[in-house]
Structure 1
C-alpha cells in the first residue's frame, strides 16, 4: 500500500481543515496514508492552547481557531505546506518520532539548497540561526495524524511581524529566499514529499 501524494495547489484554509477532519473520521484500517501538498491563501491559525494576545496587530487576514497543538502562526502564498494523514499505529510510529521525522525532512531539503538549519530544544520546528524557517503542528485522532508542516520558501514575511510566532515574543522568521536560495514553492513541495516518503517507508513501514 503506497503513500498517496495529493497536490492541491493554492487552497482555502478552512475548507482544507474540514477535509482533513473528514478524511480522518472516515478512514478505515486499509485506507492508504496520504500527504497533501499545498499552499494557503493568507490566514493566521491559533492552536488549542493559543492565546489571542499573541496577535499583536489585527489586520484583514482572518484568524482561524483550530485543533492542533501550539500557538499562533501564519500561512500564505509562497509557503510549502504538507499535511500528513498517517495511521501511526499501523506504522508503529509515536508522535514524537513523527515530529522528529518532519523536522528531519525540512532540514534535509534546506541542506540541499545550501542552507544550514537546526532544531531548538523545546521549540518544535527548524531554525536558521535565531530565525524560524519551518513550523509544524499535529492533531491525533483515532490513532491517526493530520495537520503537518510548513516551510517558508518565497513568501511575504511581514505578516509574521503582527504576531508572536508560535507564542515567542520577538521571534524572527526567515525563508529560503531570504537565505539566498532560488527555488519555487512547488519544487520544494515535491522535495518534501519525496523525503517524507523515504523516511516514513524506510523507518516506519506498514505493519504486515
Structure 2
C-alpha cells in the first residue's frame, strides 16, 4: 500500500470477535513503522480484547490485584494500569502527527491528546451521554446515573514513534465493571468506572462504532474509509 501525501480519507478497520493483545501490539508497531517509511497509510483500528490488564510506563506493581488471574501485558504506552475486556471498544489510532490533522496542529502532543478526548466527548454526546474531562484526572468522565457520582467512562493511552501515534482510546459500552476492581484504574482510587449501558441499554457496539466514525472528521479532518 502506497501512502498518499495528501489525503482526505483515513483507513478505518474493524476486527470481529476478540483480538489477542500481543497480536494488536505487533500489528500497531509494524504499521507505525510502515507509516514512518511511507509504505502505509494512517489507520484507525477498532477491536475488542479478551479480559486482560495492561501496564503503561507509569504502572505500579501495588496497583495490580488481579483476583481472576487475567493475563497481564506491558503495553509500552503512557499511563498506568488499564483493564480491557469484551464490551469495551478499543480504537487504536495510527496517525501521522508530523502534519496537521483537522484541528490538531503538527507535532503538538498536547493538542493530539485533547483531540482524542474531544473525539470521545463528541461521540458520546451524539449518543445522548454528557461526558467531560477533569483537571488532574486522565480520561473522560461522566456522572453515573445509578450512583450519581463522577466515574470514568473512557480511557486514553498513547505512544508516539517519530511523530507517528499508536495505541489510542477505550470506551466502556457494556464490559463487566467488576473486573476493573482488579486494578487501581489509571492510579486513581477516589472514583469508579461506568459504562454506556448504564445510561442507555439500547446502544449497541455497531451504534457506538458509527458514532465514532461520524465524530472523527469533526476533530481530525479526514473521512473514514472502511477496509
Give the Cα–Cα distance (whole angstroms) in 1 for the partners of residues 81 and 50 of structure 2.
16
SS in structure 2 at match of 1:3: strand
1:173 corresponds, among 168, 183, 193, to 193
Contact (CA 8 Å) 2:31, 2:40: kept in 1 or not?
A: no
Return 5+ residue gaps in structure 2 as ranges.
Answer: 1-6, 101-105, 144-149, 223-227
> Matches of 1:93 and 1:197 in 2, distance apart?
19
* Count of equivalent residues: 202
Residue 7 (structure 1) aligned with residue 14 (structure 2): yes
Alignment-derived partner of residue 126 in structure 2: 112
Which range moves more in the overlay, 109-118 or 189-198?
A: 189-198
1:101 is aligned to 2:115: yes
Answer whether contact 2:127 2:211 (CA < 8 A) is retained: no
Cα displacement (A) at 1:119? 0.4
- Deviating above 6 A after TM superposition, structure 1's stretches of 4 or more consecutive aligned residues are none
Residue 139 of structure 1: aligned partner: 159
Q: 1:7-86 maps to which residues of 2 (within 5 A)?
A: 7-9=14-16, 10-27=18-35, 28-29=37-38, 31-86=40-95
Distance 2:209 2:63 in 1: 29
Partner SS for 1:58: coil
Displacement after TM superposition at 1:155 (Å): 1.2
CA distance in 2, matches of 1:175, 1:5: 24
SS at match of 2:176: coil
1:113, distance to aligned residue in structure 2 (A): 2.1
CA contact (8 A) 1:85 1:144 kept: yes
Contact kept? 2:107, 2:163, Cα under 8 Å: no
Partner SS state of residue 116, structure 1? coil
Instruction: Indicate the SS of the match to 1:150.
Output: strand
- CA deviation digits over 1:11-43, x for unaligned, max 9? 111110111011112322363211001111111
Provide the rounded CA distance (Å) in 1 between the counterparts of 2:163 and 2:127: 35
TM-score by length of 2: 0.84
- TM-score with structure 1 length normalisation? 0.91
Match of 1:185 among 205, 208, 221: 205
Structure 1, unmatched stretches of 5+, are 203-208
> How many angstroms apart in 1 are the aligned matches of 2:175 and 2:66?
19
